[in-house]
Structure 1
Amino acid sequence: MRPYKACSCRDPETKRLLGKKCPDLSKKGHGGWYARYEAPKSADGKRRQPRIGPFDTEKACKEALAKALGTAVNPKAHDERKTTLGQYLERRYTWRTSEAETGEGLKKSTLDAEREAIDLYLSPGLGHIKVVELDDEHIRELYAAMRKINRPDEQAERTEILRRLQEVRATRHGRRLHSRPISESRIRRVHAVLHGALADAQKLSKIRTDNPADGVWRSKGGKRKQGRAKPLLWTAERVAAWEKTGAVPGKVMVWTTDQCGNFLDFAEASGERLYPAFHLDAYYGPRRGELVGAEEKDLSLERKRLHVLQAQADDELDDTKTDAGYRQIPLDDETVRVLKAWHKRKLEERLQWGEAYRDAGRVFSYEDGTALKAEYLSSRFRILLERHANIRAKGKEGWPAERIARRFRTTEAAVEVALRLVLPPIRFHDLRHGAATMLIAAGVDDKFVSEVLGHASVAFTKDVYAVVAEELAEDATRRIAAFIPRQNRLSAVGASNVPSGG
């Protein structure tokens, strides 16, 4: 089993391969290193001694021989020695898809994400490498190439693996559709797919004796992964700083109760068709996919309950994000009133569309009854915030409310609402964070809040929202005198300024 050197030179007379007998083997760079090892016998009992090689050095040959000897004791591993990672990923994906079809496997959204990881990264990057030969250096090289995609130095240091990744990325009219760099969280998700596949190759398929993906992950710059971004409250001080610099102090920002109420008043006064969806999200925080996936049969206005049984991440219904997401949300009287008005409006739209109406059976839909796309909700939310900001800008320029209303094709009532209060920027999903914060600040039981939001545990709810809820309560305390004792305070101030008798 010792490595030996051989070449492909032939005898000039007999034309037979010289192999180990070539006189030029002592010359540097001539020939390569090979080795044979004892493999399990074939099905008919015949002896097998496979050869591995060629290798440039004896050391490389010895390392490969050690790997081969490690799999030689396992007949299945030996039979799979030529299986590439791409082949194994496809085989495993077929298994997982068939399991999902029985109702026992993964959700469709999870399978779709795994399919994307295979097609865009794992197969083009590492698919050609044999499973038994894959090592941690290959994996690190893939992640390094992923980090260069859509960055300024993408072309400057273009490696072979980066070229393969670039070739599979979608383009239209010569331009790449996805123009943002690959995030560390995306690389982590790809790593999870690869690690799972190699774990199956080790424990189920017995192709390997180890998992080369173990311990590979390193976050960008060698830093440890930061925890979940905690929400920050848009206090008066932070709003003032934002208006001066334009800098948003955190990734996840939450409105105060006044700011949230101003937005809902503005949306309602503007005649925004999807105001009921914004109202429901601001009050109880269902996820965006849960909002557009909610069906009429799961909403009972008589019992004041909305059952959350599914979600729509893309264009198809799927299960909720977690098992805890399968829940019911109790509704207050005001929300019931808003949703009853919404049902009346949908009935009017059905009559207007007539036979062209396509009832998707959803609580929230387009005017023709078809199911909403999740991104449409976010788009309408952004439009409302931009309109609110533009109205305030015109107000600062001295425009009268009537002129502003004509300019932005809205109502004077909406203009008056917008001029009352500045609305700092948040994302649509931050309405959910705001709902959680306000429920906790209002003294609602933590367990109830956790169940309404569909969190996996009460501990998670408290860990994420406790601090900002406390900040909200303190912010309200500082300003409460401006709301409740206004008349008394003004009277007291007036009395203090009245001259004494004489």
Structure 2
Amino acid sequence: MKPYKACSCRDAETGRLLGKKCPDLAKKSHGKWYARYEAPRSADGKRRQPRVGPFDTERECKNELAKVMGGEATSASAWDNRKLTLSEFLERRHAWRVTEMEAGDLKPSTLESDREAIDLYYSPGLGHIKVVDLDDQHFRELYAAMRLLNRPEEKAQRSELLRRLQEARAKRDGKRLHSRPLTEGRIKRMHAVITGALNDAVKVSKIRTDNPADGLFRAKGSKKKGRTKPLLWTPERVARWEKTGHIPAKVMVWSSEQCGAFLDFADACEDRLYPLWHLDAYWGPRRGELVGLEDSDFGLESGVLHVRQSQADDDLDDTKTEAGDRQIVLDEETVRVQKAWRKRRAEERLAWGAAYQDSGRFYCYEDGRALRPAYVSVRFGLLIERYAKLRKRHAEGWDVERIARVHRVPVAAAQVALRLPLPPIRFHDLRHGAATMLLAAGVPDKLVSDALGHASVSFTKDVYAVVAREMAEDAARKISAFIPRARKINTAGAINVPSGT
């Protein structure tokens, strides 16, 4: 296994290669450095002594020898895989993962994400490079090219790498498969695919000893990012929002009064999706879970809802986590609202007749088609905007009847909107609000965690336990009563001193 020097000179008489016997090898510029090492025997038991080289210096030869002896050639197949290109390796790994999905160990959406990363980015961009030859610079250049896609500066670039990515994203008619620029978040999601694949190359296939894609994206700052906790819309925050438009945090939660005002408004407006808003505000299913609910998942006679699947985009999939597959025992009011919805759907089906497309979903469009998740969020946002417009008209001096007539809403809906301001939240924040109000209502932590489909009770307590102002006020009262004090202030402000002191 010791490195040696050899050349391609031949004997003048026999014509044979001189190799290590060439007399000119003593010269510094003559010959190259090689090394052989003992590798695992082949499948038929034959001895294998692969050679590394040529190298210009002995040091380079020793470094490469140490590299392959350190793990890249721990099996016969590992040495053979050294010639494997990234495209070939990704396709082979994808075939493995297909079998994992068929066995139920992998979600179809994960496999689709892998396929997108392979077809649009890694195969056209770096697929021709051997896995063992990849380094971090290859990925930095790839991501730089990905950031240029569908941007004005794209046409000014002439790199071969960018051209291959452009071709991969084109349809048969020459139009782009995707016309929007890639966000940094999407690039990171694609990066997660290659990081996992190269981890397999290191730990499973033993093709490499390191992962060159590892560590390219680093978290900002030195502190570990914690869980984003919801913030309650208190009267003080609402007053500031009305005055300046300031939203204190990304995740905001309505108080029970604000949530009730929204549901009353949607009900009074006779909004078609009011039953969906009601269920989410009371019990907090995720958006994909609501859209994925089927008729058979609702046991309205028994008052039990079975959440067992989710629809993130266009395809139905399992719930986000194993804990997400759950049953929720519904309250009487929620059951009443959902029964009314079922009756309305039956009337719509009769009205559409043969044109009705039965998707089997509990919540659907009027013609029976399955709802798109994005539609739910947009519809929710429009309701909040409508609520705000009615209040704005009243501030301009319009009376309730005029507001209702011009904006085509029932008078009862306009009256609800004038009760109190409704600050903005995202649709997903209804779920956060449901968790907060369930805890504030005294529902045990374990039951709340189960209803929301959280993986652990500690997560539920950590994120939601102190959000509701009602809970904080109750805690303040309890701690005051819990600690015995000799001197207490009465309601009139006087100090009560126990007798005998």
TM tier, shorter chain?
0.7 to 0.9
* 8 Å CA contact retained: 1:85, 1:131: yes
Determine the C-alpha separation between the residues in 2 that align with 1:451 and 1:192.
Answer: 30
* 8 Å CA contact retained: 1:39, 1:72: no
- What letter matches 2:330 in structure 1? L
Determine the C-alpha separation between the residues in 1 that align with 2:56 and 2:239.
Answer: 67
Query: What does 1:43-54 correspond to in 2, within 5 Å?
Result: 52=53
Cα drift, residue 358 of structure 1: 2.2
Determine the C-alpha separation between the residues in 2 that align with 1:218 and 1:333.
Answer: 49
Match of residue 180 from structure 2: 178
Structure 1 unaligned regions, length at least 5: 8-16, 479-502
Moved more, 82-91 or 109-118: 109-118
Cα drift, residue 132 of structure 1: 1.7
Q: Do the aligned partners of residues 202 and 215 (structure 1) sit closer, same or farther apart at CA in structure 2, a change above 3 Å counting?
A: closer
Q: Do the aligned partners of residues 401 and 367 (structure 1) sit closer, same or farther apart at CA in structure 2, a change above 3 Å counting?
A: same
Cα drift, residue 212 of structure 1: 1.7
Question: CA deviation digits over 1:111-149, x for unaligned, max 9?
Answer: 122223333443344433312222345445555666677
Question: CA deviation digits over 1:327-358, x for unaligned, max 9?
Answer: 11111111111111111111111111112222
Structure 2 unaligned regions, length at least 5: 9-16, 478-501
* 8 Å CA contact retained: 1:194, 1:213: no
Determine the C-alpha separation between the residues in 2 that align with 1:237 and 1:152.
Answer: 44
Match of residue 109 from structure 1: 109
TM-score when normalising by structure 1: 0.79
State the secondary structure of the residue aligned to 2:448: helix
Query: What does 1:450-469 correspond to in 2, within 5 Å?
Result: 450-469=449-468
Cα drift, residue 360 of structure 1: 2.0
- What letter matches 2:369 in structure 1? T
Match of residue 424 from structure 1: 423
- What letter matches 2:80 in structure 1? D
| RMSD after superposition | 4.0
Moved more, 236-245 or 440-449: 236-245
* 8 Å CA contact retained: 2:3, 2:61: no
Determine the C-alpha separation between the residues in 2 that align with 1:158 and 1:32.
Answer: 40
Match of residue 200 from structure 1: 200
Query: What does 1:127-142 correspond to in 2, within 5 Å?
Result: 127-139=127-139, 142=142
Match of residue 267 from structure 2: 268
Does residue 86 of structure 1 match 2:82?
A: no
Match of residue 332 from structure 1: 331
* 8 Å CA contact retained: 1:231, 1:468: yes
Determine the C-alpha separation between the residues in 1 that align with 2:256 and 2:4.
Answer: 76
Query: What does 1:232-381 correspond to in 2, within 5 Å?
Result: 232-381=231-380
- What letter matches 1:398 in structure 2? G
Does residue 439 of structure 1 match 2:441?
A: no
Cα drift, residue 45 of structure 1: 5.2
Match of residue 95 from structure 1: 96
Q: Do the aligned partners of residues 5 and 273 (structure 1) sit closer, same or farther apart at CA in structure 2, a change above 3 Å counting?
A: farther
Determine the C-alpha separation between the residues in 2 that align with 1:260 and 1:370.
Answer: 29
Cα drift, residue 51 of structure 1: 6.2
* 8 Å CA contact retained: 1:3, 1:62: no
Match of residue 391 from structure 2: 392
State the secondary structure of the residue aligned to 1:80: helix
Question: CA deviation digits over 1:210-261, x for unaligned, max 9?
Answer: 2325862542556455222111111111122222332321111111111111
Does residue 409 of structure 1 match 2:408?
A: yes
Cα drift, residue 271 of structure 1: 1.3
- What letter matches 1:84 in structure 2? T
Determine the C-alpha separation between the residues in 2 that align with 1:6 and 1:390.
Answer: 86
- What letter matches 1:403 in structure 2? R
Aligned residues: 462
Determine the C-alpha separation between the residues in 1 that align with 2:196 and 2:150.
Answer: 27
Determine the C-alpha separation between the residues in 1 that align with 2:473 and 2:161.
Answer: 54
State the secondary structure of the residue aligned to 1:329: strand
Cα drift, residue 90 of structure 1: 1.3
TM-score when normalising by structure 2: 0.79
Q: Do the aligned partners of residues 125 and 249 (structure 1) sit closer, same or farther apart at CA in structure 2, a change above 3 Å counting?
A: farther
Determine the C-alpha separation between the residues in 1 that align with 2:150 and 2:61.
Answer: 39
State the secondary structure of the residue aligned to 2:328: strand
